[in-house]
Amino acid sequence: MISPKETEEKAYTRIIMRKKLYLFIILWCAAGFVGLSLSSCTEHTNDPEYRSRSPRFADITTSYPEIVVGGEIVFTAVESRSGHLLDRTKYTWTITPDNGARQNASQPKDGVYDGVNPTDTVVFRQAGTYTVTFQGDYRGSGQVNYFESEEHPTDGVTAKYSANVHTGTGVNRDYLHAIVTKRFKVAERASD
């Protein structure tokens, strides 16, 4: 005959074995899920459909063929190819030398990429030769691979592209960059 103490020990052993089996099943499923997740990420590493890319730019154009001191001029960074799988975007325009040029970026300086050609409105205070630089920083929402390249899409235009990739967890900090520069001459306003 089985004593109550032996029955209690067997019941306790069964409970412990069930807990261990339950824990083993949970860990086994979790390991399988992680493995599946990692394989699905690496599966598309070289597939362009899943890769973020910055827009490509053909030119920086002006609203008027001649730029004069005191006149309002709109600069447009003209995309030749739209970006792909992009999220947050930050645009900055710089004029060098500064010489008191007044700028008024009409595009949101920080927003979601929408494929619209970025613009900036400028009034020059002095005649001279200026370099206009547009920079777009685009947070990738797909695969981002490190690269650097430079192009000269039209005469006098330099377009540099790059991506920086951050490893680790948390918020996606993988950014693509486009920097487009072009020189312009600003003439004195003709007197009446």
Q: Coil, helix or strand for 1? A: coil
CA distance 143 to 48: 9
My answer on whether 17 and 104 are in the same domain is: no
Distance of CA 80 to the CA centre of its chain: 17
According to DSSP, residue 26 is labeled H
In a domain, residue 29? The reply is yes
- The most confident of 11-15, 110-114, 168-172, 182-186, by mean pLDDT: 182-186
Residue 68 pLDDT greater than 80, yes or no: yes
Domain containing 28: what range?
1-43
- Residue 11 host element (H or E): helix 4-43
In a domain, residue 103? The reply is yes
In a domain, residue 176? The reply is yes
- The residue-averaged pLDDT of 5-27 equals 77
My answer on whether 130 and 180 are in the same domain is: yes
Q: 71 phi and psi, to 5 degrees? A: -85, 145
For residue 72, the tally of other CB atoms under 10 A from its CB is 12
18-to-14, 37, 41 alpha-carbon distances in Å: 6, 28, 35
pLDDT per residue over 135-174, tens digit each? 999 989 888 888 899 999 988 999 999 998 776 555 557 8
Q: 61 phi and psi, to 5 degrees? A: -110, 165
My answer on whether 11 and 70 are in the same domain is: no
The pLDDT of residue 29: 72
106-to-110, 140, 156, 171 alpha-carbon distances in Å: 11, 23, 24, 28
The pLDDT of residue 131: 94
My answer on whether 23 and 75 are in the same domain is: no
- The residue-averaged pLDDT of 83-94 equals 89
Average pLDDT score, the chain? 82
My answer on whether 72 and 9 are in the same domain is: no
Q: Name 62's bridge partners.
A: 75
The pLDDT of residue 8: 75
My answer on whether 77 and 158 are in the same domain is: yes
My answer on whether 126 and 146 are in the same domain is: yes
In a domain, residue 169? The reply is yes
My answer on whether 61 and 10 are in the same domain is: no
Residue 81 pLDDT greater than 50, yes or no: yes
- The residue-averaged pLDDT of 71-88 equals 92
My answer on whether 94 and 128 are in the same domain is: yes
In a domain, residue 141? The reply is yes
My answer on whether 82 and 101 are in the same domain is: yes
In a domain, residue 192? The reply is no
Compute the CA torsion angle 140, 144, 146, 150 (nearest 10 deg). Answer: -60
Question: Which pTM does this prediction carry?
Answer: 0.71
Q: 116 phi and psi, to 5 degrees? A: -85, 140
In a domain, residue 127? The reply is yes
Question: Across the beta sheet with 56-62, what order do the strands follow?
Answer: 56-62, 72-81, 119-123, 102-105
My answer on whether 59 and 111 are in the same domain is: yes
My answer on whether 56 and 36 are in the same domain is: no
- Residue 135's CATH number: 2.60.40
CA distance 134 to 163: 16
Residue 35 pLDDT greater than 50, yes or no: yes
Side chain identity, residue 94: T
